[in-house]
Amino acid sequence: MSLSLIIDKMSSRDKDFRYMATSDLLGELQKDSFKMDHESERKLCHMIIKLLSDAAGDVQGLAVKCLPLLVRRVQTSHVDDMVDKLFQMVKNGKEEERDISSIGLKTVLAEVPQSAAGTTVRGLTPRLLDSIGTSTMEVTICCLEILHDVLQHFPALVAGDLANIKAKLLPELASPRAAVRKRAVACVGAMCAGLPDGLHVEVVDHLIAELEAGHAKKAEVTMTTYIQTICAVGRVSGFRLGPHLGRIIPLVLKCAAQATGAGDTSTEVEEHCLQACEALVTRCPSEVTPFIPDLLDLGLRYVKHDPNYADDEDEDYQDNYDMDEDEDEDEDDDGDYSDDDDTSWKVRRAAAKLLAAIIVSKPDAVPAIFDKLCPALLVRFSEREESVKADVFATMRLLVQSAASTGAGASLKPLVVQQLPATVTALRRQLAQRSIKTRSGVFVLLRELVTTLPGGLSDHVAVLMPVVDKALRDRTSTSALRLEVLGFLRLVLDSHEPAVLHPHLKLVAPPVVAAAGDRYYKIAAEALRVCGSLSHALRPEPPTASPLPLGDFVPALYDAVSVRLAALDQDQEVKEASISTMGVLVASLGDALGDKLSSALPVLLDRLRNEITRLTAVRAFETIAASPLDLPLADTIPPLLTELCSYLRKTSRGLRLASLLALGEIARHHAAALGAEEMKAIFVELAPIIADRDLQLASQALTLCLKLVEADAAVAGPLVAEHAMGPLVVLLASPLLQGAAIARMEDLLRAVAARKAASLPFQSVLQQVLAVAQKADGAASAGKHTLESVALCVAALCEGATDDESRGTVEEFMRGVSSADQSTQLLSLYCLGQIGRQTDLAHHKPALLPALTATFDSPSEEVRTAGAFALGAIASGNVSAYLPEIVSRVGDAGHAAQHYLLLQALKELILSAKDEALAPHVAAILPLLFTQAEGTAEEGVRTVVSECLGKLLAAAPAAVLPALRERLSHEAAPMRAVAVASLRFAIVDGPSPLDARLPEVIVDFLGHLSDETLKVRHASLLALSCVAHNKPAYLSASLPSLLGPLYEETAKKAELVHQVDLGPFKHTVDDGLELRKAAFECMDTLLDACGDRLELPRFVERLIAGLTDDYDIKMQCHLILCKMATRPNTAPALLALLDQICEPLRKSVVAKLKDNAVKQEIERHDELVRSGMRVSCLLARIPGAEGHVKFDQYVRGTLKQGPLAPRYEAILAEVDGADDGVDPMMVG
């Protein structure tokens, strides 16, 4: 239909014609191909505005729907005309026109592009202000609503009018009409987001003054209005209220106290007082700390505020907890009480949310308030208003969750355990209620308790299992409730000792089995998973006999699972759950299935052949193969192997990995079923996987080779020689080889040598491995990484070989040390070092020691370094034989030229030797190391000394720790730096002798963050990062005192920046850059390890400062912000400072490069822009971010519009498409 015809029909007298024409226009506007000329735009805009006054309501509705689509297509001048006409209709139109015109105007404003809104907004705002307070109340209300939208969507465009807006809005807060006050409160909140500091202070002062006046006059309406306004300002720009909390919170507390007992009319004041306190706690978590005790008392007082209902339980809830279950069942259900005029529940709900805000925002304060908070919440489980009870449950859940965190959680868990009996009793009483919502909330909280305290409900299983049974059998239970019950039951079965569960399994098994046949797929899937947990609980350690008669359980479990397993027309989740559960059932109870096992395995094989279910089936067969039961799998393994081998060729990495793991379990537990043909088929498929394309898959492939060799070396040996050795040798030459892959390669070669595998004689394998160390021309040596890898494999071969073979190899390498060929010399040195680590070569010392020390005089630095490594590694195999010689040479001035190499050898010895072998020699080594550190100006020597001291500290803390603490106060800064740095090398992940000594003195080391010397502070930062990463418990007492100096090091200091004159140009050198990078990296580590003990507002403030620093610092800050934005416990801290974060982010994103920028600068700039957009995307996804006007303006105006929009859309797609578990800051 042509546009002119549509316009003609829109002006028809027939309502149906107007409706159909408007509907057709709506359809046309939604088409990308729709075009208009200037005159058509004008006519169409005029007609749409006219239809907003149409007598037919459905035509008006369609016209409103057309407005946003039209605004996006017409020129700005037409938009301005539409806004002008709509405003005139709002101001001067009839009452029935005013509402629809107001809706239309707000719709237009929501769609006007930021780039084209300047004239529109600047022309509209003064007219809105003129109409507020000077027109009728209805017009004022509409204008306030429109002004609120303007302030939210276009804060930058009204910046020049903010003073006038403030002057107009503040008097409206005193309006006699509640509707005006309500909209004025919203406008003031939106306005404060963009107010300059001076105007913001004036607004806050005005609000406080008016609230004080209202409090003095006991004017509840005034108090309510201004408390609401403070709450609105706090939610939008709470961080700016921090300096004023000393005046605001005491005043709000006074208003709440005055309202208490004033009657029903006081409820609104109390509710808004609590809401204001909640907003301030959430937005100003740092500044609110001094007021936490008062706010806690406020929340506890009002969470039980119920003036229209008397409950003796508040007097002594413990007496009621002791009531027996029969009394609980017979007790009247207080939920039947209803009073439409009672609004006190709003106060209790607001109090519960305030308590939740305290728990979330001040986790460090939770241990101190737990004893007051937990009993009070338990009392309120009896709350009669269901919505309030849900908030009480949610607050209790947050309290329990805080015990699962690191740091404060350690001190909270005993408190949670102490309150556990009372908690379970209170929850059990609530399970007697008829409300489904209440019972669901109880099981959600019980699941949280089990998650936080695995096995913690052992003493209460007896009272909880009957209610689980009842909830599953009750026909009134909803699907959501049954899902919660099944989830709770599965957690209990998985986390508690079987002996605790056995007396109750007969009770809960029947309803679980029945639920497995439920028509709702989610219930069926969850019930199947519970069946798997039941199977494991019945016999946790097969083949040990179960104390329960398996015949009472196994048939029902099998029937329930097999019916679902055999069915094809069901949801994917149910299919996967039935396959996994059958795998667990067979693995745990297969010998009790009898003939049914032969029916289950073919069905599982069918599921293995199905593309949709094969991955789950592979994992199920892995579980079955790993079972210690003697299961009859002889007929199943051949077809199973065929399928698994074929899956090793698939492109799905997860399927290939699962297949390798399943084959490994078959090789370990069912090797007898693997003949020569089966093994050959496996090795043929393994060969392409043994490559550096995917080292994890290569590692698993090598593990499978090892298991096959261990199972039957006679059969596997020739297959390894034919299919695996070639890829293995290629992989050995790869510069990517590392970690588990090289370790599994060593294990395989060691097994091949030890088992004398056929077709793999020691010398043949050794020569293949050694050949990797030679380049194609046979003359030049391979790279250091390849030499080290080859040496590790040679050492593994020698460890598995006979004594004669090993001795001959060592002697050959000893001759190679004196070779004139450098490649042979290097290979021999590395191999001797690795062999010496595993084998005592002391009997070769007379010839070996001179040969090794002779390499120190080689003209080649590579040879000298390799000689030092070999000497140290060999010495670690027999410390007593070699250490005295090394110490003697280091202390001998005649060997001064070799001191650095000897120190390298000593370092290798100390790092490689076992602690018990080192301990007797610490007294001889320490003075030597301290002398070297004090007498050298070389940074490399001091680094070596630090590493050695660190390892010695870990080996013999009693002897080394006092000496190091003494050096911490040494007058020479390099010595202090060495002492501090040694801590970094002493910390290991896992139990250590230092655990009993170091926490008490850790501050002596890390306190040097305030040292006057740059290098000492840098060493302290690195040490703090190491301790936080590996031993965060060491920092439990000292962390608060360390954060201040740490944050100080994140600031850019002018005295550390200087210019170097390079002739035609000058170069700026920042000596503090590396220090700042270390400081921000330390903050990143602390966030991961001790996040619940950080003062997040101050932490975020330092990140904001870092966003204006150099490129490397900005990138580091972006990474930290991404982490925080995706974590529920840290995101609120970002939300409070979001408007401050967005400005430096915006500057980074819109920054332009110079025309003469080089390629590296362009690449770095592009990566910085992408990183800034990624951060912005994640920040925008924090719940509540859209309420921050500046940030919302930045996202909508800078990122979603203009030249950056395509790049931002690509970032959104990348973040949306990231796989689960992928770190969001690594996307793209």
Q: Are 625 and 665 in contact (CB under 8 A)?
A: yes
Tokens of 1168: 């910085």
Concatenating the DSSP letter of every residue in 830-859 gives HHHHHHHHHS--GGGHHHHHHHHHHGGG-S
Tokens at residue 412, please?
A: 């909270």
What six digits make up the tokens of 840?
């005592």
pLDDT of 320: 43
Q: 1032-1056 pLDDT, tens per residue?
A: 888 878 888 899 999 999 998 888 8
Q: What is the pTM of this model?
A: 0.81
What type of residue sits at position 610? N
* Separation CA 916–CA 700 (nearest Å): 34
- pLDDT for residue 338 is more than 60: no
Place of tokens 């639920």: 515
Distance, CA of 850 to CA of 462 (rounded, Å): 74
What digits encode the pLDDT tens for the residues 854-886? 999 899 999 999 999 999 999 998 888 888 888
Of the candidates 225, 348, 250, 233, the residue with the CA atom closest to the CA atom of residue 284:
233
Maximum alpha-carbon separation in the chain: 116
Containing 1061, the helix (H) or strand (E) segment is strand 1057-1061
Q: How confident is the model at residue 566 (pLDDT cuts 50, 70, 90)?
A: very high
Q: Tell which residue, 189, 297, 205, 194, has the closest CA to residue 243.
A: 205
CB 125 within 8 A of CB 166: no
Are the C-beta atoms of residues 746 and 793 closer than 8 Å to each other?
yes
**Beta-bridge partner residues of 1061:** 1066
**Encoded tokens for 1128:** 């529920």
Q: In angstroms, rounded to a whole number, what is the distance separating the alpha carbons of residues 900 and 1228?
A: 44
Cα separation, 871 vs 854, in Å, equals 11
State how far the Cα of 968 lies from the Cα of 1095, in Å rounded to an integer.
29
Q: How far is CA 558 from CA 482, 515, 533, 547, 613, in A?
A: 22, 14, 13, 19, 20
Report residue 319's pLDDT band, with 50, 70 and 90 as the boundaries.
very low
Place of tokens 């590396």: 1074
Provide the pLDDT for residue 470. Answer: 92
For the cut 60, the answer to whether the pLDDT of residue 899 exceeds it is: yes
Instruction: Decide: residue 333, CB within 10 A, 0-12 exposed, 13-18 middle, 19+ buried.
Output: exposed
Strand partners, 1059: 1068
User: Nearest-CA neighbor of 666 among 714, 614, 631, 615?
Assistant: 631
Average pLDDT over residues 220-242: 87
Cβ atoms 930, 967 nearer than 8 A: yes
Asked whether the predicted pLDDT for residue 433 surpasses 90, the reply is no
Collapsed DSSP state (helix, strand, coil) of residue 738: coil
Q: How far is CA 1128 from each of CA 398, 1114, 1124, 1182, rounded to the nearest angstrom? A: 12, 23, 8, 9
Q: What is residue 482's predicted lDDT score, i.e. its pLDDT? A: 94
CB atoms within 10 A of CB 94: 9
The whole-number pLDDT of residue 703 equals 95
3-class SS at 1070?
A: strand
Closest by CA to 848, choosing from 836, 857, 860, is: 836
CA distance 1083 to 671: 51
Please list the residues that pair with 774 across neighbouring strands.
781
Q: What is the pLDDT of residues 321-332, one digit of tens each?
A: 344 444 444 444
Answer yes or no: are the C-beta atoms of 1051 and 1101 closer than 8 Å. Answer: no
What is d(CA 742, CA 789) in angstroms, rounded to the nearest whole number?
7
CB-based burial label for 577 (10 Å; 0-12, 13-18, 19+)? buried
Three-state DSSP at 286 gives coil
Band of pLDDT at residue 920, cut at 50, 70 and 90: confident
What is the predicted pLDDT for the residue at 894? 65
Distance CA(1010)–CA(1008), nearest Å, equals 5
Calculate the dihedral angle through the C-alpha atoms of 1134, 1135, 1140, 1141, rounding to the nearest 10 degrees: 50
H or E segment at 929? Answer: helix 922-934
Task: Report, as an integer, the average pLDDT of 1141-1155.
Answer: 88
Q: What is the pLDDT of residues 60-70, one digit of tens each?
A: 888 888 888 88
Measure the CA–CA gap between 1075 and 1022, rounded to whole angstroms.
10
* Residue 454 and residue 447 in contact, taking contact as beta carbons nearer than 8 Å: no
Q: Is residue 169 a contact partner of residue 137, using CB atoms and an 8 Å limit? A: no
Q: Which helix (H) or strand (E) holds 764?
A: helix 762-771
Name the DSSP letter for residue 133.
T
Look at residues 1105, 976, 1130 and name the one whose alpha carbon lies nearest to residue 1049.
1105
Report d(CA 855, CA 871) in Å as an integer: 10
Q: Is the peptide bond before 543 cis (omega within 30 degrees of 0)?
A: yes
Q: Is 620:661 a contact under the CB 8 Å cutoff? A: no
Per-residue pLDDT of 732-774, as tens digits, reads: 999 999 999 999 999 999 999 998 877 889 999 999 999 998 7
What length is written for the chain? 1228
pLDDT tens digits along 771-810? 998 753 344 457 889 999 999 999 999 999 998 999 999 9
Question: From CA 737, how far away is CA 695, in angstroms rounded?
Answer: 7
Q: What is the pLDDT of residue 742?
A: 95
The tokens describing 1018, both together, are 């840098």
CB 513 within 8 A of CB 563: no
- pLDDT tens digits along 701-738: 999 999 999 999 899 999 999 999 999 999 999 999 99
Q: What percent of the chain has pLDDT over 90?
A: 48
Please state, in angstroms and as integers, the Cα–Cα distance from residue 238 to each residue in 283, 292, 1135, following that order: 5, 17, 10
Neighbours of 327 (CB within 10 A): 12
Contacts (Cβ under 8 Å, ≥6 apart) of 153: 109, 110, 117, 1193, 1196
Tokens of 1024: 């703090």
- Residue 193 CA to residue 220 CA, distance in Å, equals 27
My answer on whether omega of the bond before 510 falls inside 30° of 0, hence cis, is no
Tokens representing 818? Answer: 């004196």
- Predicted confidence (pLDDT) at residue 365 exceeds the cutoff of 60: yes
More confident residue, 320 or 1122: 1122
In sequence order, what are the residues at sequence separation of 6 or more whose Cβ sits closer than 8 angstroms to the Cβ of residue 259? Answer: 220, 223, 266, 269, 270, 273
User: Worst-scoring range by mean pLDDT, 69-73, 214-218, 579-583?
Assistant: 69-73
Residue 794's pLDDT is: 95
Per residue in 655-668, pLDDT (tens digit) is: 999 999 999 999 99
* Angstrom distances, CA of residue 608 to CA of 423, 603, 621, 646, 678: 46, 9, 9, 12, 18
Nearest to 697 by CA among 729, 744, 644, 735: 744
Q: What is the DSSP letter of 382?
A: G
Q: Which residue has the tokens 């209300």?
A: 141
- Given a contact cutoff of 8 angstroms between Cβ atoms, the answer to whether 1027 and 983 are in contact is yes
Pairing of strands 1066-1070, 1057-1061: antiparallel
Q: Which of 421, 370, 378 is nearest to 399 (CA)?
A: 370
Q: Which residues of 283-317 are buried (b: 16+ CB within 10 A; e: fewer)?
A: bbbbbbbebbeebbebbbebbbbbeeeeeebeeeb
Q: Which residues pair with 1069 in a beta bridge?
A: 1058
- Give me 911's structure tokens: 């790092």
